[in-house]
Amino acid sequence: MAKNNKKATTEKPTADTTAQVPAAPKVVLRTYRETDLEQVEYLYRSTQVPLVYESIRSKLWAFPTWVVWFAVYSTLLISVPKVITAFIIFPGWAMTAVKLLTTFIWGIVGFAILFITSDRIELQNRIDEAMANDLKDPDLYYLNYKIDEDGKKVRKPEPDQVPSHFWVLTLDDEVCGMIGLSCNAQDVADARSTLPIAWKQFSVAVLELLRLPVPSFLLKQKPCLTKDGTKHTFAHKQIPKTATITRWAVRSELQTCGFSTLLINRAISWCQEHDINRVYAMTNECCMAAEQILVKRHGFVIMKRFNHNFFGEYSKLFGCRVNEWMDKNGEKTRKAFKKSQ
C-alpha cells in the first residue's frame, strides 16, 4: 500500500487576516497660530462648564450659605402654616405634610439659586471677560503683535516686546490643551465697555428658565468704570523678571493623561530661557485640581488668598522659583520635548 506523503503548507497572511495596528496619536506642543482661535475659544468654554459644580461645592462649604438657608427655612416653616390656617383648618397630619412639602420645595429652590449663581452669573462673567480681552486675539496679548495704522497685524519693535507667550497642545492636529504666560509691562484695562449687574443676570436667568418674556431694562448693563471714573483693570503690571501662568486648560476627557504637566513644564522652561526668576499662577474656588497639581507636582507655594465674599468665592496666588524648579525638573523636562525639524 503506497504511502501518501503530504507536505505541510504555510499560508501567507493576507491584509484581511492581519490585525491592523492603530497608529500612535501625534501629540504636538507648539506656539499658537491665528488659525487656532476658534478651537482655543471652544476649548476654554468647554473646560469652564464642568467647573460649575466645583463652584457650587465651594458655596456649600461656606458657613454663611447654611446660615442664610436655615434662616429662610425657619421663616417658611413658621409663616406658611400660619398663612394656611388663617383660611383653612387642617388636621395635624396635613400640617405635617405641608411642612415636609415646604422643606422639599425650599431645598430645590435653594440648590437652584446656587446653580444659577454659579452657572449663569459667575461662569458667564469669566467667559465674557476672557473673550473680550486676552482670548479675543492671543497674538496681540501674548505674542507681541500690534495693529498698525493700516489695520494690519505686525510684530512690535524689539524694545517693546515682552517675554509673554501662548502655546497650544494638539492631538492629531486638534487643539486639546493650551497655556499662556503673561509678562505685562503696564496695567491692562478691561476691553469691555459695560459690565453685567448680578441681580439682573439672575432675574433674566430665572425668567428664561420659566420661558417668560424678559423686560428690556434687565438687559441694560453698567459702564466698565471704577468709582473714580477709570476703566477696570483686567491685568496688573508685573514686577520685572516675573511672569504669570494663564488660560491653563486641557480637554476634559484627556485630563488624566499628563498633558497639564507637559504644558506647565514648557511654560517654566520658557521662563528659564528668558531670564524670568519667578512664575505665578492664580486660581479660584473652581480650580482645586489645578491647585493640587501646582503644589504637589511642581512645588508651587500659596502666597496669598483673596476672599471675594462670604459665600466661598475666593482666589489664590501661587508662586514658584524658576531656577529651583529647573534644578529639580530640568533634565526630565528636556527629555520629554523633541523639537520638530
C-alpha–C-alpha distance, residues 56 and 65, integer Å: 11
C-alpha–C-alpha distance, residues 166 and 13, integer Å: 49
Q: What are phi and psi of 333, to 5 degrees?
A: -70, -40
Sequential DSSP letters for 18-78: SPPPPPPP-EEEEE--GGGHHHHHHHHHHHHTTHHHHHHHHHHHSHHHHHHHHHHHHHHHH
Bridge partners, 195 (sequence order) = 222
Pairing verdict, β 153-155 and 145-147 = antiparallel
What SS3 class is residue 246? strand
Q: What are phi and psi of 191, to 5 degrees?
A: -80, -10
| pLDDT at residue 255, rounded to an integer | 87
| pLDDT at residue 84, rounded to an integer | 86
C-alpha–C-alpha distance, residues 220 and 204, integer Å: 11
Q: What are phi and psi of 270, to 5 degrees?
A: -60, -40
Pairing verdict, β 242-250 and 278-284 = parallel
Cα within 13 Å of Cα(103), Cβ side: 6
**DSSP one-letter code for 14:** P
Alpha-carbon dihedral sign for residues 168, 239, 234, 153: negative
Quote the pTM value: 0.85
Number of neighbours of residue 138 by Cβ within 10 angstroms: 25
| pLDDT at residue 19, rounded to an integer | 55
CB 294 within 8 A of CB 281: yes
Could you give all domains of the chain from N- to C-terminal order, each with its CATH number? 32-192+232-335 (3.40.630.30)
Cell numbers that stand for 13 in this block: 497572511
Q: Which amino acid is at 5?
A: N
CB 180 within 8 A of CB 249: no
Give the closest residue to 182 by CA, choosing from 248, 260, 250.
248
| pLDDT at residue 8, rounded to an integer | 45
Cell numbers that stand for 316 in this block: 489664590
C-alpha–C-alpha distance, residues 18 and 133, integer Å: 53
| pLDDT at residue 335, rounded to an integer | 58
Number of neighbours of residue 134 by Cβ within 10 angstroms: 22
pLDDT (tens place) for every residue of the chain, 341 residues total: 444 444 444 455 555 544 566 777 889 999 999 999 999 999 999 999 999 999 999 999 999 999 999 999 999 999 988 888 888 887 878 888 988 999 999 999 999 999 999 999 999 999 999 999 999 999 999 999 999 888 899 999 998 999 999 999 999 999 999 999 999 989 999 999 999 999 999 999 999 999 999 999 999 999 999 888 899 999 999 999 999 999 999 999 998 888 999 999 999 999 999 999 999 999 999 999 899 999 999 999 999 999 999 999 999 999 999 999 988 887 766 655 555 54
| pLDDT at residue 14, rounded to an integer | 52
* Chain centroid offset of residue 27 CA: 22
